[in-house]
Amino acid sequence: MEALLASTLTVAVAEIGDKTQLLALILAARFSHLSGGKTAIILGIFLSTLLNHFASAWLGQWAIGLISPELARYLVACSFFAIALWVLVPDKMDEEQSRFYKMGPFIATFILFFIAEMGDKTQIATVVLAAKYDALAMVVMGTTLGMLIANVPVVIAGHFSAEKLPMTLIHRGCSLLFALLGVLTLIF
């Protein structure tokens, strides 16, 4: 249960202001006028995240099995500290990839979210969380739930704007959370 809760909280907080949350806002603005557009976007986010985070968590558990438990503990802790610093740098949305928009809201969302998550903070966090906890299913469920907690309200509201949130405070809080996970990994 600890893996599920830690994964959900970590990713939900890390996702606020992230490029995939900005992508959710763009997709909602683009497709929300279509019948079932919001549902298709949410389903695309869910399935893309589930697939991406399953692969990431599997990689984290596989990689951690190749090294000694002591070295693994230090690598996981250092990874949490690195992510703590990384979240202090706000994301910017890359160029729109309008060629995918022709494929409709579900396919566009699925592809764009999968691409946007590659090498993203939340994907790296998923790898590290899976390395820390020996609970692949709980980590994947938690990180996927965290993505949905952060992105579904953006899609439903449609007009939601990340600029209205205290982003500096959110990024600092998220950084503190990752640093705390690093310290707890070293202690326990």
Q: How many CA atoms lie within 13 A of 170 on its CB side?
A: 19
pLDDT at 26: 84
- Confidence band of 159 (pLDDT split at 50, 70, 90): low
Over residues 98-112, the mean pLDDT reads 89
Angle between helices 2-15 and 121-132 (to 10 degrees): 170
The Cα–Cα gap between 180 and 177 comes to 5
**Number of continuous H segments (helices) and E segments (strands) in the chain:** 8, 0
DSSP structure string for 90-151: --------GGGGGG-HHHHHHHHHHHHHTT-HHHHHHHHHHHHSS-HHHHHHHHHHHHHHHH
Q: Is pLDDT of 135 > 60?
A: yes
3-state DSSP: the chain helix, strand, coil percent, rounded to 5? Answer: 80, 0, 20
Give the residue with greater pLDDT, 169 vs 49: 49
Global pTM reads 0.80
| Nearest C-alpha neighbor of 28 from the set 155, 149, 114 | 155
pLDDT at 83: 83
Angle between helices 19-31 and 136-157 (to 10 degrees): 50
pLDDT tens profile 24-34: 888 888 887 88
Furthest-apart CA atoms within the chain: distance in Å: 53
pLDDT tens profile 44-98: 999 999 999 999 999 999 998 899 989 988 988 898 898 888 878 765 655 555 6
> Cβ distance 52 to 114 under 8 Å?
yes
Q: Is pLDDT of 8 > 80?
A: yes
Q: Which DSSP state fits 155? A: H
Q: Give CA 66 to chain center in angstroms.
A: 25
pLDDT at 99: 78
Going from N- to C-terminal start, the domains of the chain cover 1-187
